[in-house]
Amino acid sequence: GAGVSQSPSNKVTEKGKDVELRCDPISGHTALYWYRQSLGQGLEFLIYFQGNSAPDKSGLPSDRFSAERTGGSVSTLTIQRTQQEDSAVYLCASSLASPNEQFFGPGTRLTVL
Amino acid sequence: AQSVTQPDIHITVSEGASLELRCNYSYGATPYLFWYVQSPGQGLQLLLKYFSGDTLVQGIKGFEAEFKRSQSSFNLRKPSVHWSDAAEYFCAVGAPGAGSYQLTFGKGTKLSVIP
């Protein structure tokens, strides 16, 4: 079956612009995660959605970052007023009800000029 | 909060040689443990996982890992490395009962394979 998909695969933007990154999880997976992978920082947890529960936003680095998950499926990560330090690969993962294996998408490489 | 240490940033082995990648974790109880592999430009693929039970876990691609509670370790092993194993390997821990099941990753170990 189809895996986790993310779009766009690459995004180049100018400092100060807003960007939206999309994640389509595996059908039937109730849990969805966003991570950020950057040089020197490794993989960092950003946010977690589980079903209809309130998301765990404890990993979001600032209030410029937000995410939503519509209809329990597709998720969008929004970064407002992008900064150069936001440049990273943003990875999305999904899983069946936790604890369980997280399946990762290929990521979106964000470059902020 | 849990943490993960992968002490080796980069390892180079010859094809056919054995491999051991180290992972140490910090957590107050027995965590969930994972090894993922990432090839250049790709997402992460799960190699194996430990939740409970037998402490020697078999995974895909001929990899295995052993959970040692006394050493807080979950080292990844492979008896004979293939050139296609060249990639970056990440150890990760999840905290049972934490409610979020987010994973905490180590910084990764990059594996190079000499033909």
Over 60: is that where the pLDDT of A1 sits?
no
Looking at chain A, which runs of residues are DSSP E strands? 5-7, 10-13, 19-24, 31-38, 42-50, 65-69, 75-79, 88-95, 103-104, 108-112
The pLDDT tens digits of the residues spanning B64-106 come to 999 999 999 999 999 999 999 999 999 999 877 655 577 899 9
CB within 8 Å: B106 and A42: yes
Over 70: is that where the pLDDT of A83 sits?
yes
The nearest alpha carbon in chain A to B91 belongs to A43
CA distance to partner chain B, nearest, from residue A83 (Å): 23
Residue A99: the pLDDT is 66
A53: pLDDT confidence band, cut at 50, 70 and 90? confident
Distance CA B54, CA B67 (A): 9
Over 60: is that where the pLDDT of A26 sits?
yes
